[in-house]
Amino acid sequence: MSRFPEAIPMRSIRSEKIIDNLIGFFTKFDIPRTLQSDCATNFTRREWDKEVPYALFSIRSIPNEALGYSPFEVVFGHCVHGPLEVVREHLEGETLEINILDCLSGLQEKLRKAWEFAKENLEESQEVMKNKFDVGTQKRVFKPGDSVLVLLPFQEILRGHSFKGPGRF
């Protein structure tokens, strides 16, 4: 739900290295329900892996239209402290004195509110997208015993979608 992306640049795609990086990810962020991969698409440009953290920082910092917050805010409960903020603070001579206990005491409540707001925005956004998608469609009602063709979700990555039918289901 947070839309928080993570990418791990790897110089080797041996299974041992992949497993080591996944374990590192899982121990840092928890075990996800799903993983998305580029299916080993390789880059031809040298040192592309050094640009990955900058791209991720940018993606995580931009507010998501559906959620109303950036992925960084949803995961960590506050706005990202990016390069422009650092420059502004330096130019203004601003110094921060942070009481860690005060920060931690309010973090859980901020995260709860952010998740609630993000969930509401996501539901509203999904409804808008559904209404746009449904334009021009017809509602169909099936009765027990009607002959139908069913699109089943793929069971394995390489198999793709499969159809079942026509028949009675």
Residue 36 belongs to some domain of the structure: yes
Q: Give dist(CA 42, CA 57) in Å, integer.
A: 21
In a domain, 30, yes or no: yes
- 3-state SS class at 149: strand
Q: Is residue 65 part of a domain?
A: yes
Task: Give domain status of residue 121, yes or no.
Answer: yes
The whole-number pLDDT of residue 18 equals 84
Chain centroid offset of residue 29 CA: 13
Interval 108-124 mean pLDDT: 76
Q: Which domain does 51 fall in, by range? A: 15-133
Q: In the structure, what pLDDT confidence band is assigned to residue 153 with cuts at 50, 70 and 90?
A: low
Task: Tell me the per-residue pLDDT of 117-143, one tens digit each, with 9 for 90 and over.
Answer: 777 878 888 888 888 888 888 888 888
Q: How far apart are CA 23 and CA 17, in angstroms?
A: 10
Residue 88 located in a structural domain: yes
- pTM value is 0.41
Residue 40 has pLDDT above 70, yes or no: no
Give the helix ranges, DSSP H, for the chain.
15-29, 52-61, 71-76, 83-92, 100-133
Q: Is residue 160 part of a domain?
A: no
Q: Looking at the 3D structure of the chain, how many domains does it have?
A: 1
Instruction: For residue 138, tell me if it sits in a domain.
Output: no
Q: Has residue 156 been placed in a domain?
A: no
pLDDT value of residue 158: 45
